[in-house]
Amino acid sequence: MLEPVLARIDNQLPNAIERLFELLRIESISTDRAFKAECRKAGSWLVEQLNEIGFDASLRETTGHPMVVAHHDGPGDAPHYLFYGHYDVQPVDPLELWNQPPFEPQIIELESGQKQIHARGAADDKGQLMTFVEACRAWKKETGALPCRISILFEGEEESGSPSLLPFLEANSKELACDMAMVCDTGMWDAETPAISTALRGMITEEIVIQAANRDLHSGHYGGAAANPVHILTKILAGLHDESGRVTLEGFYDDVEEVPEDIRKQWEGLGFSTSQFLGDVGLSMPAGEANRSVLEQIWSRPTAEVNGIQGGYTGDGFKTVIAAQASAKVSFRLVSNMDPDKIRAAFHDYVKSKLPEDCSVEFIRHGTGAAAIQLDYTLPELKKAAAALEDEWGKPAAMIAMGGSVPIVGEFKRRLGMESLMVGFGLENDCIHSPNEKYEMTSFHKGTRSWARILAALAE
Amino acid sequence: MLEPVLARIDNQLPNAIERLFELLRIESISTDRAFKAECRKAGSWLVEQLNEIGFDASLRETTGHPMVVAHHDGPGDAPHYLFYGHYDVQPVDPLELWNQPPFEPQIIELESGQKQIHARGAADDKGQLMTFVEACRAWKKETGALPCRISILFEGEEESGSPSLLPFLEANSKELACDMAMVCDTGMWDAETPAISTALRGMITEEIVIQAANRDLHSGHYGGAAANPVHILTKILAGLHDESGRVTLEGFYDDVEEVPEDIRKQWEGLGFSTSQFLGDVGLSMPAGEANRSVLEQIWSRPTAEVNGIQGGYTGDGFKTVIAAQASAKVSFRLVSNMDPDKIRAAFHDYVKSKLPEDCSVEFIRHGTGAAAIQLDYTLPELKKAAAALEDEWGKPAAMIAMGGSVPIVGEFKRRLGMESLMVGFGLENDCIHSPNEKYEMTSFHKGTRSWARILAALAE
């Protein structure tokens, strides 16, 4: 039955792209309140699509952006999988660096003939989630059924810390608990080599706002005497790393495990090129912990990164002001058994310890934080999916780690007792979270075919 | 002749305030190109006023905002003075912290009966320069003449680094060179005590832009390996001061002189209250160089202040990005014989020394910089002006230093060979450069009377 399904995917590709474009045109930026209606529109569009395929799909309210939940039966003894994706996207600034409007998707054909889908969300995560939706559509339209029992959960707050996710999982645990989850929000090893992500770094995010004087001051009248919150903030942030690039927070590395030797060897065999990885983005020197390979730095080592900083006058020209406030958004990537709450507490203690007595700090939490994930290598689903991916791509699937976090995977395990099969078709140069985000046409097309194969393999 | 002039100032106060309000309503923010026409409008308004009084006034073009130049004869043997002020104002952000629209001036009457003029520019410098204009008006309208020969120079770029000033002074040095300059852009010692500023800190301003990767990166994919320009910037800025609050730049203190013992004693006798000075703005601990009094810190010690910092995502919510760029605006206050060019070069060297090889820095200069100023205490004009101020306020004029810089004073000395008599009526709590800027009604009224007296005293 698989071959006609794959043929249908090939034949219907133009229609599938047109549907993806419809979704990409919706400006579903979850982190900015101005786009609330657009987020809802994206959810509704997915509900409509899934119902059209034959799912029982509906929009489910939360205190934030709505969830999409859908169910479809499978053969009586078939396993039951929950597929997860997110329909929200990152903000688009700086807008002036985009080569096209971010919500007007286009197919760009390179001189090599290679085609790319350009738009915000093309790779993260609209293009990815649509590979699964289109695989289901092909199965259903071609055979009248799906090989497995499938439930779907699409979230609209993944890029803004998923505030509604936990309550929703808890309130609907019976409905959503399946044999295993499938998550399509990760990448391939390279453009030719499929991958299954077996480890993910966790993350906590925190904003700190340092308050010094009760108003902005003239730096001539007060400079040299009054506390400057930008100075305090830069001392705090500069002190987060020591000279060797290690994070200085108390107990930060207590629960960090070294990568097992066999895994480290597998990684070394992947042919990763540090100079190319950094060269692609205009850099040449690894900036993290000394004496660690870049793959270790991004896959198995925790980090502290300042993702945004702001204070004082930042407009045109110059203003000789001592700001009343300065703020920074800081994230910590977590690995192994690092406890998000413990790291957050250590950060709070550190910041407070650096604060002059007459200044204050406010901590603003964005999202609940997520521990790191490590998948069990012996799961039969892992082997079946790997074989299906090899059938499609002609190369063995790499078992890789990912530097980014997919918080849902931890929640599926903790709240619903499910492991997650993380298969995705993104590439490092997809520019997710950046201007000119793209998704390879190959990723979309062969990604859809991959899911069609995986569903067949898991049903056996 | 003085008494009727003073009486006229008292009688005409409501009209003088109405004229000041006209000027305050003009949104002459020089640092923001959007307000170019408003700056010109402020200049034209002043030309009109001065011509109406009897000056020969005109708007003079520059490559930036225009200058106002005006001349008025005096008695044959009278000395010739050049009065300087600036009609441009600071930006108004953060707008939400203003109690009223910044360009809709209002008189606020406190419960004590004390009246204040609230508007952007009320104190810096429109209210101040109008004290002199109104003093001239009263002299002319009451007596048909001015006691001294007076020229006036109003600039429109003081808040944006005065890029046109030097070329203008050089091109018009014959026309503008007088016996001495008068500058009204400084403050009183306190609300009851007039002051003459005999020392001013100089300043250089510099913006640095650190470039790391060639695009914004996902902190999950690159975090731990890729250079984060915010980290580099915070290390650079945090390293500008050592633990004792001293600036770490090579040679920074080489040309800094200690205050002479007699001057230090005079300062100690002023009854300055550190706890009140800092307490007024919500602080309690001097933040600058250890073992220096606050008056020393702001009057006689050089500083490095970060006036603005920006990098990465600073909008609503959170974005897990490693920015491609981060920037900061930094100013250095200079004292004694510190050479602006030497300090700028030391800063450049320091920044470059902290930069990873694969990152770059751009330096953006705002204005040309100004050395510090120290007036000769033996000048006869200084004594005459001090006596006139004491007559008006009933208290001896304090000979003070100022933490802020008035770059024009250095240029007058260097380019036109003139010393400057710095008399002003601003107060520390005028909130200049901040929301809710105000000027005391007393400052405006008695300031006008003070200039009327000073003109009489200098003519003798």
Which residues in chain A have their CB less than 8 angstroms from residue B283's CB?
A: 212-213, 226-227, 358-359
Task: Provide mean pLDDT across the span B237-263.
Answer: 93
Task: Provide mean pLDDT across the span B196-216.
Answer: 94
Residue B292 forms part of a structural domain? no
Look up the CATH number of the domain holding residue B242: 3.30.70.360
Residue A414 is predicted with a pLDDT of: 84
Minimal CA separation from B101 to chain A, in Å: 17
How many domains, chain A? Answer: 2
Residue A398 is predicted with a pLDDT of: 87
- Whether A32 sits inside 8 A of B358 (CB atoms) is no
Cβ-contact B295, B289 below 8 angstroms = no
Alpha helices by DSSP H, A354-406: 380-393
Residue B404 forms part of a structural domain? yes
Which residues in chain A have their CB less than 8 angstroms from residue B327's CB?
A: 314
Looking at the structure, do residues B184 and B219 belong to the same domain, yes or no? no
Give the DSSP H or E segment for B30.
none
Which of A365, A384, A401 finishes a domain? Answer: A365
Residue A113 is predicted with a pLDDT of: 94
Residue B120 is predicted with a pLDDT of: 98
Which of A336, A365, A394 finishes a domain? Answer: A365
Minimal CA separation from A388 to chain B, in Å: 26
Report the alpha-carbon distance of residue B420 to residue B184 in Å, rounded.
10
Residue B276 forms part of a structural domain? no
Look up the CATH number of the domain holding residue B379: 3.40.630.10
Report the alpha-carbon distance of residue A360 to residue A233 in Å, rounded.
11
Residue B392 is predicted with a pLDDT of: 98
* B186 and chain A in contact, CB less than 8 A: no
Looking at the structure, do residues A123 and A242 belong to the same domain, yes or no? no
Report the alpha-carbon distance of residue A398 to residue A428 in Å, rounded.
15
Residue B150 forms part of a structural domain? yes
Cβ-contact B397, B390 below 8 angstroms = yes
- Integer angstrom CA distances of residue A15 from A137, A152, A178, A442: 12, 22, 31, 15
Residue B368 is predicted with a pLDDT of: 75
Indicate the length of chain B as a whole number: 460
pLDDT digits (tens, 9 = 90+) for B445-455: 999 999 999 99
Looking at the structure, do residues B62 and B36 belong to the same domain, yes or no? yes
**Cα atoms found within 13 Å of the Cα of residue B368, Cβ hemisphere only:** 15
Could you give phi then psi for residue A62, rounded to 5 degrees?
Answer: -135, -175
Computed on alpha carbons and rounded to an integer, the radius of gyration of chain B in Å comes to 23
What is the token pair recorded at A427?
A: 């590439």
Task: Provide mean pLDDT across the span B195-219.
Answer: 93
Report the alpha-carbon distance of residue B174 to residue A231 in Å, rounded.
45
Instruction: Give the residue from chain B lying closest to A428, CA to CA.
Output: B221
How many CB atoms sit inside 10 A of residue B141's CB?
13
Report the alpha-carbon distance of residue B444 to residue B426 in Å, rounded.
9
Q: Would the pTM count as exceeding 0.90?
A: no
The 3-class SS string of chain B reads CHHHHHHHHHHCHHHHHHHHHHHHCCCCECCCHHHHHHHHHHHHHHHHHHHHHCCEEEEECCCCCCEEEEEECCCCCCCEEEEEEECCECCCCCHHHCCCCCCCCEEEECCCCCEEEECCCCCCCHHHHHHHHHHHHHHHHHHCCCCCEEEEEEECCHHHCCCCHHHHHHHCHHHHCCCEEEECCCECCECCECEEEEEECEEEEEEEEEECCCCCEEHHHHCCCCCCHHHHHHHHHHCCECCCCCECCCCCCCCCCCCCHHHHHHHHCCCCCHHHHHHCCCCCCCCCCCCCCHHHHHHCCCEEEEEEEEEECCCCCCCCEECCEEEEEEEEEECCCCCHHHHHHHHHHHHHHCCCCCCEEEEEECCCCECCEECCCCCHHHHHHHHHHHHHHCCCCEEEEECCCCHHHHHHHHHHCCCEEEECCECHHHCCCCCCCEEEHHHHHHHHHHHHHHHHHHHC
% helix, strand, coil for chain A, step of 5: 35, 25, 40
Looking at the structure, do residues A322 and A446 belong to the same domain, yes or no? no
Q: What is the full DSSP assignment across A123-188?
A: TTTHHHHHHHHHHHHHHHHHHSS-SSEEEEEEES-GGGT-TTHHHHHHHTHHHH--SEEEE---B-
- Which residue reads 């050592």 in tokens? B242
Which of B323, B348, B365 finishes a domain? Answer: B365
- Which residue reads 């979230």 in tokens? A155
- Which residue reads 């030497």 in tokens? B342
Cβ-contact B417, B373 below 8 angstroms = no
Residue A266 is predicted with a pLDDT of: 75
Residue B119 forms part of a structural domain? yes
Query: Which residue would you say has higher pLDDT here, B411 or B145?
Result: B145
Looking at the structure, do residues A388 and A422 belong to the same domain, yes or no? yes
Looking at the structure, do residues A166 and A214 belong to the same domain, yes or no? no
Which residues in chain A have their CB less than 8 angstroms from residue B431's CB?
A: 215
Looking at the structure, do residues B10 and B151 belong to the same domain, yes or no? yes
* A4 and chain B in contact, CB less than 8 A: no
Instruction: Give the residue from chain A lying closest to B223, CA to CA.
Output: A298
* A248 and chain B in contact, CB less than 8 A: no
pLDDT digits (tens, 9 = 90+) for B140-168: 999 999 999 999 999 999 999 899 999 99
Residue A111 forms part of a structural domain? yes
Could you give phi then psi for residue B303, rounded to 5 degrees?
Answer: -135, 165
Residue A305 is predicted with a pLDDT of: 97
Cβ-contact B263, B395 below 8 angstroms = no
Instruction: Give percent of chain B with pLDDT exceeding 70.
Output: 100
Residue A419 forms part of a structural domain? yes
Looking at the structure, do residues B336 and B239 belong to the same domain, yes or no? yes
Which residues in chain B have their CB less than 8 angstroms from residue A357's CB?
A: 284-285
User: Per-residue pLDDT for chain A (460 aa), expressed as one digit of tens each?
Assistant: 899 999 999 999 999 999 999 999 999 999 999 999 999 999 999 999 999 999 999 999 999 999 999 999 999 889 999 999 999 999 999 899 999 999 999 999 999 999 999 999 999 999 999 999 999 999 999 999 999 999 999 999 999 988 999 999 999 999 999 999 999 999 999 999 999 998 888 899 999 999 999 999 988 889 889 999 999 999 999 999 999 999 999 999 999 988 878 778 878 888 899 999 999 999 999 998 999 999 999 988 999 999 999 999 999 999 999 999 999 999 999 998 899 999 999 999 999 999 999 999 999 998 778 889 888 777 899 999 999 999 999 998 888 988 777 778 888 988 899 999 999 999 989 999 999 999 999 999 999 999 999 999 999 8
Looking at the structure, do residues B30 and B140 belong to the same domain, yes or no? yes
Looking at the structure, do residues A74 and A139 belong to the same domain, yes or no? yes
Looking at the structure, do residues A68 and A84 belong to the same domain, yes or no? yes
Structural domain range at position A161: 2-200+373-459
Which residues 113-132 of B have a C-beta within 8 angstroms of A? none
Which residues 76-115 of B have a C-beta within 8 angstroms of A? 90-91, 93, 97
Q: Does the structure show a pLDDT above 90 at B281?
A: yes
Across the interface, of B225, B309, B321, the residue whose CB is closest to A298 is B225
Report the alpha-carbon distance of residue B52 to residue B55 in Å, rounded.
7
Looking at the structure, do residues A335 and A385 belong to the same domain, yes or no? no
Residue B345 forms part of a structural domain? yes
